[in-house]
Chain A
Amino acid sequence: MAGYIWKPRAGKSACRMSFAVALLLATAALPLRAQEQITQVDLSGSWALQEDEGVMERVAGPIPDDFTGIPLNDAGRDLALDYNPGSYSEPERICLQETPWSLAIGPWAIRIWPQVDPATRQVAAWVIGGTESHPPVTIWMDGRPQPPMLAPHDRWGFTTGTWKGDMLIAYTTHLKAGILRRSGAFSSDQTTLTSTFIRHDDMLIAAYVLQDPVYLTEPYAYSNSYLRSDSPVGIDWDPCIVGYEGVDEGEVPFYLPGKNPLVDQMQKIYGIPEEASLGGAETMYPEFRDKLKAKFVMPSGKCTIYCTTGFAPPPPQRRAPGS
C-alpha cells in the first residue's frame, strides 16, 4: 500500500466543496419569503428633486409658527409654540441633526443603490444615500425582524421594505423625536413612517405617510417627485463638530406659554388667522378654506415674503443717477 500523502490542494478542494454544501443547506433553510425577495423594479441611480409645492418648506423654511396642514393635537401644538429657534444652538444639540423625515421635507436630490447579499445574490436592502444633514436610510428587504422594544432608537430608524406590484413600500420604526416642520413642529420617538416609491421610467414618486400617536391626530402625508439624473448625486454627509453659537451649556431657550412673539406672523403677513396657522387635522382639507373665507382679510400693502416662489424678493436696485 502506498504511503499516505497529504495534498494541500485536495484539502482546499474538500473545504470549498463542503462550504458549498453548507451554503446550499443554509440557503435551503432560509424562509420561503426571503427567497422570493426578487427586485421588481430597479430604483438605483441618481434622482433630482422636482421642487414644486414644497419649495417654501424646503429652501429658506416656512414662516415661524406656520403649522397649517399639520394634524397637530393640543400637545403637539403646545410643544411647537414653545419652540425657540435658539434651542438648536444648545451646545448639546448642535450635532443632533435630523431624522429620515428630513429626506421628505428637505431640498435634496437622492441617490439609491442596492445592497446585495453575497450568499443569496438577492437585494438584501435598498439604500437611500444620506446627504448633507440627513442620514442614509437602509430599507431591509431580507425579512429581518424588528428590533425589540428595549432597543435604542437611532437617527436612521429601522426600515423594512416589501414590494407590492411595482411599488416599494418601506416601513420605518425606532425613530428619534425630530423636526416635523422647520417652523417648530416636532414628532415624537413613537413615530412610524410609511414610504412608497414608484418608478415610472425616468420619474420616481416618493409618498410619505407619518403617524405619531403622541403629537398627531391623523396621518400626515407628503410627497416628492424626482427625475432621473445623469449627474451622480454625492453621497457624502457632513461631519459635525460643536462650536459656540451664543447659547451656554445647560441653557434651554424656549418660549413660556403665551409668550411666543412669532405666533401671529401668518396673520400679519398673509392675513391668515391663528385657527388656521396653528394647524390641526381640519386644516389639511380643502373644505377648511370655505370656513375661513368669511374671516379672511386681504392684507394691505405689497407682499414681501414668499409671494410667489418661496424666495424672498431681491433687494431693490438702486437707480443710476439721472435715470
Chain B
Amino acid sequence: MQQLTRAAAQRAVTVALSIVMLAGLGAISAHAAETGNADLDVLHVRNNVYVIAGDGENIAAQVGIDGVVLVNAGTAAGTDRLLAAVKKISPLPIRYIIDTNADADAVGGNANVAAAGITLFHAPIGPGASIVSYDTVLARMAATRGQPGGFPDSGWPTDAYLVNRTTLYINGEPIEIYHEPAAHTDGDSVVLFRSDDVVFAGGVMDKTAFPLIDLANGGSIQGEIDALNHLLTLADPPTPLIYEYVGTAVVPDHGRVCDQWEVVDYRDMVVKVRDTVAYMMRQHMTLRQIEAANPARAYPQYKAADMFIEAVYRDLSAKKPK
C-alpha cells in the first residue's frame, strides 16, 4: 500500500512538474521574444541585454545579480512606464544610468529613474542610482539650472568622465563606454556590452532618420562619420561563418535592433549625402538649390533629411577655406 502510494505520488509530482515546466517554457520563450507592456515594447536582445522602446530614444537594460544598468532614462513623462517595463525584466534595483547624450528624451527621466534606484556607493553619492555620462552632458544639463523646464539637479550625472573610454564591470560583464567627440553633439557616448556582444549606438545612429547633427552643441558631419566608422570597429561581422551567426547586435537611437550590415549601409548613406552636398557646393549651388535637388532622395525611408542636409551644408560652409 505504502509502495503504491509512493509510486502514485511520484507520478503525480512528475506529471505536475512536467506540466509546470511546459507552461513555464512557453512563458519564458514568450517573455524572451517580447515582454508585453501596454505602452513600451521590450525586446530581449541577447543574454542579459534588453531594449525598451516606445518613449523617445531606445533604452537598453542590462540585468544580472548586481542589479540593472540602463542606457538612457527616456523622457521625464515616461518614467512610470519605463520603471514598469524594467520591473518586468528584473526585480533588482537600478544601479546605473548611462546617458549617451544630453537630449531631453535621453536624460529627461534621469531624476525620477535614478530616485527609483539604489547606488552601489554610500553617501554622498547615494541613495539613488549613479548616472554616468561624458562631461559635456553634465555641463549642458547644469546650464539649464534655474531656467524654465531645466533639468533638476538630482538628474545630473554623478559620474562624468573626461577620457576617451571608461568602463564599468557589472553583472559579471565589462561595459565599455566610448566618447565620440563630435558626432550628434560633443558629448555622445557609445556603450559596448562586451560579453553579451551588444553595442548601443546612442545618437550616432538612428534607424528611422538621418543623424541629427547638432552644430550648436559640438556636432559635426566628419565627427559623425568618424563615430560611425568607430562603431564599425566595435560591431563585428560574423565572419567567417556568416551563415551560422549574426555578429554583434547594434541598438540604434531609434528603431529596430541592427547589426554590422546596417551600420555599413547607414555609414555609406551618410557619406554619400555628405559628398553630394559638397559636390553641389562646389558647383556654387545655394542651400535652397541643394535642398530642392535633394541629395538624400535615394533614402525616403529616413526622416529629417532636410535638417541633415542643412547641417551638412552649414558645417561644410563653416570649414570651407575663405
Contact = CB atoms under 8 A, between A and B. Distances in A.
B7 A14 contact: yes
B102 interface: no
B284 interface: no
A150 B298 contact: no
Interface in A1-50: 1, 4-5, 10-11, 14-15, 17-19, 21-22, 25-26
A152 interface: yes
B121 interface: no
Contacts, number: 133
B239 A252 contact: no
Interface string A206-248: 0000000010000000000000000000000101111000000
Contacts of B229: 249-250
B265 A18 contact: no
Contact of B53 (A74, A150, A188): A150
A307 interface: no
A152 B246 contact: yes
A19 B22 CA distance: 11
Interface string B296-316: 011111000000000000000
Contact of A135 (B33, B243, B261, B297): B243
Interface stretch (A90-98, A106-114, A162-170, A262-270): A90-98
Nearest to B22: A26
B31 interface: no
Contacts of B257: 150-152
Interface stretch (B12-20, B88-96, B167-175): B12-20
Contact of A240 (B242, B249, B297, B301): B242
Interface stretch (A57-65, A75-83, A193-201): A75-83
Contacts of A4: 2-3, 6
A252 B297 contact: no
A117 interface: no
A151 B256 contact: yes
Contacts of A242: 237, 239
Contacts of B265: 177
A157 interface: no
Contact of A92 (B51, B232, B243, B299): B232
B41 A148 contact: yes
A135 B265 CA distance: 20
B18 A19 contact: yes
Interface in A142-194: 145, 147-155, 176-177, 188-190
Nearest to A149: B256
A239 B239 contact: yes
A240 B259 contact: no
Given A14-B11, A26-B22, A75-B297, A240 B261 contact: no
Interface in B232-264: 232, 237, 239-243, 246, 249, 256-262, 264
B300 A176 contact: no
B69 interface: no
B240 A150 contact: no
Contact of B240 (A75, A79, A92, A241): A241
A1 B295 CA distance: 93
Given A152-B258, A256-B275, A214 B239 contact: no
| Binding site secondary structure of chain A | loop
A75 B301 CA distance: 10
B43 interface: yes
Contacts of B259: 152, 154
A280 interface: no
22 contacts: A11-B10, A14-B7, A18-B15, A18-B18, A22-B15, A75-B299, A76-B298, A78-B298, A96-B264, A97-B242, A148-B41, A149-B41, A150-B51, A155-B261, A177-B265, A239-B242, A242-B239, A249-B229, A252-B268, A252-B271, A252-B272, A257-B293
Contacts of B11: 14, 17-18
Interface residues of B, number: 52
Given A151-B34, A240-B242, 18 more contacts: A1-B2, A4-B3, A11-B10, A78-B297, A92-B260, A92-B264, A93-B264, A95-B237, A148-B43, A150-B34, A151-B43, A153-B256, A177-B265, A240-B239, A241-B240, A249-B229, A254-B272, A256-B276
A135 B242 CA distance: 9
Contacts of A249: 229
A242 B240 CA distance: 9
A5 B18 contact: no
B243 A190 contact: no
A252 B267 contact: yes
Given A90-B264, A93-B264, A147-B33, A136 B297 contact: no
A87 interface: yes
Contacts of A17: 11
Contacts of B293: 257
A40 B268 CA distance: 46
A130 interface: yes
